Structure 1
Amino acid sequence: MIGERASNEMKTPAGRKAGGRAAAPLRTSVKIRLADGSETDCRAGVHLAREAHLHTVFRNIPFSEDKAKAIFDKAIDQPERFGLIYAVPGAEGPLAEDGLLGFASVHADEHFLGTGTLIATVQTLNISQNLSGTLLGGKVALRLVRAVRHWAKERGCTHLLVHVTNGENAADADSFFRRCGMVTVGGNYAATLNCLEI
């Protein structure tokens, strides 16, 4: 899983997607690994985090590069509690700033009222917008979910929670996570608050 090189190559249709974006390459090998602590890994993670932020319900809140870097640093400094799992092209060499295919950020902690048991919580699971709606994008997402499960099991977590706040295709996300064997245990609810309304 994590750190294991993909042995099979994943295919997507060639050509252009709706909206004018080029489709993913016809053949792309994918490697799933933990962020390695390098400056190139950090830059690539921040780049994809910024892109993903623009597609959440919180896109009107200014993106903080410092906070994105802090998440990266926690994953490097405290790997037993914080995981930053990358999906990268299988080719060797430094990761380009826009080279991430996807990533997941997960942390392990006790339930806020319980003790003695760890729960893994996925804060974000993002796929590059270049892969959105493609077969390769779906396969990258599935590989990231498998890697998150593996990461959580290695740390003795008893549950895995995923929060979805993209706001653009919540129904698709719900369908995807159900196909991954997950069930809903509640939901994310949001309201925009304006202090003048009080």
Structure 2
Amino acid sequence: MDNVSVHGAGHAADVHALDGFVLSSIEDRAERVKSGIIIRLPQDDDWRALHELVRKVHERTVFSNVPFSDRKYALIEAQARNPQPHQCLLVAEIDGRVVGLAWFSAGEYLLGEGTVLTTTHLLGVDSEYCGPFRAAKVFVKLLRGVAAWSKTRAAHQILVHVTSGYALKQTDRLIRAGGGICIGGSYVVNS
């Protein structure tokens, strides 16, 4: 999961976190022309688009019957706007449009000491806008961005929890193609 760029390291906590992973301006332009997909930290004018994207992602999940909570989203957005050093939000952009996001954090393994893991809380892509092929590319680039950030936290493993109930086989193929190993599963049991 090398060779990724994360653009716009402007937040004080993230400048140090992403040092060494931001491309120079010449490489930056070449990367933009090559794929058209930019992975970066959020900017002030992204929040409305991120809100709509998260709503879209929610509507595709097995939990779509649960009403979307603007209040809970606002709490998460407040954290993402001012993240702690162990948290990060990355945005995927194509042609100036927000098309994906990854919200994740690093911390010690629950039952052990000295090992830092990164946990992805949400990795979503606007597959309607992108189409399946480009959506897969956005997904992979976001995951590469998570990996680049994880290295700055000395996290050697990334936990990707697929709990949407949507496009499970395709997501499994993407993660396995990136070197992921299935270590279990998530189940829903109605009470």
Within-5 A mapping of 1:61-72: 61-72=66-77
User: Greater helix share, 1 or 2?
Assistant: 2
Normalising by structure 2, we get a TM-score of 0.79
Matched, 1:77 2:77: no
Could you tell me which amino acid in structure 1 is paired with residue 102 of structure 2?
A
Match of 2:166 in 1: 168
Match of 1:147 in 2: 145
Contact 2:39–2:90 (CA<8 Å) still a contact in 1?
yes
Structure 1 runs (4+) greater than 4 angstroms displaced: none
Residue 164 to residue 180, structure 1, CA distance change in 2 (3 Å):
same
Within-5 A mapping of 1:12-27: none
Match of 1:59 in 2: 64
Contact 1:72–1:84 (CA<8 Å) still a contact in 2?
no
Match of 1:183 in 2: 181
Instruction: Report the aligned-residue RMSD.
Output: 1.8
Match of 1:96 in 2: none
In structure 2, stretches of 5+ residues that fail to align are 8-21, 23-27
Matched, 1:33 2:37: no
Could you tell me which amino acid in structure 1 is paired with residue 124 of structure 2?
N
Residue by residue, what CA displacement relative to the aligned partner does 1:59-105 show, whole Å, maximum 9, x if unpaired? 111111222232222233224211111011354xxxxxxx3111111
Match of 2:14 in 1: none
Question: 40, 47, 51: which one pairs with 1:42?
Answer: 47
Match of 1:23 in 2: none
In structure 1, stretches of 5+ residues that fail to align are 11-28, 92-98, 194-198
Contact 1:80–1:155 (CA<8 Å) still a contact in 2?
no
Identity %: 31
Aligned to 1:8, the other structure's residue is in SS state helix
Normalising by structure 1, we get a TM-score of 0.76
When Rg is computed on C-alpha atoms for both structures, the one with the higher figure is 1
Match of 1:115 in 2: 113
Q: Note the C-alpha offset of 1:58.
A: 1.1
Contact 2:99–2:130 (CA<8 Å) still a contact in 1?
no
Aligned to 1:56, the other structure's residue is in SS state coil
Question: 111, 125, 131: which one pairs with 1:127?
Answer: 125
Q: When the two structures are aligned, how many residues end up with a matched partner? A: 166
Match of 1:87 in 2: 92
Could you tell me which amino acid in structure 1 is paired with residue 181 of structure 2?
V
Contact 1:42–1:69 (CA<8 Å) still a contact in 2?
no
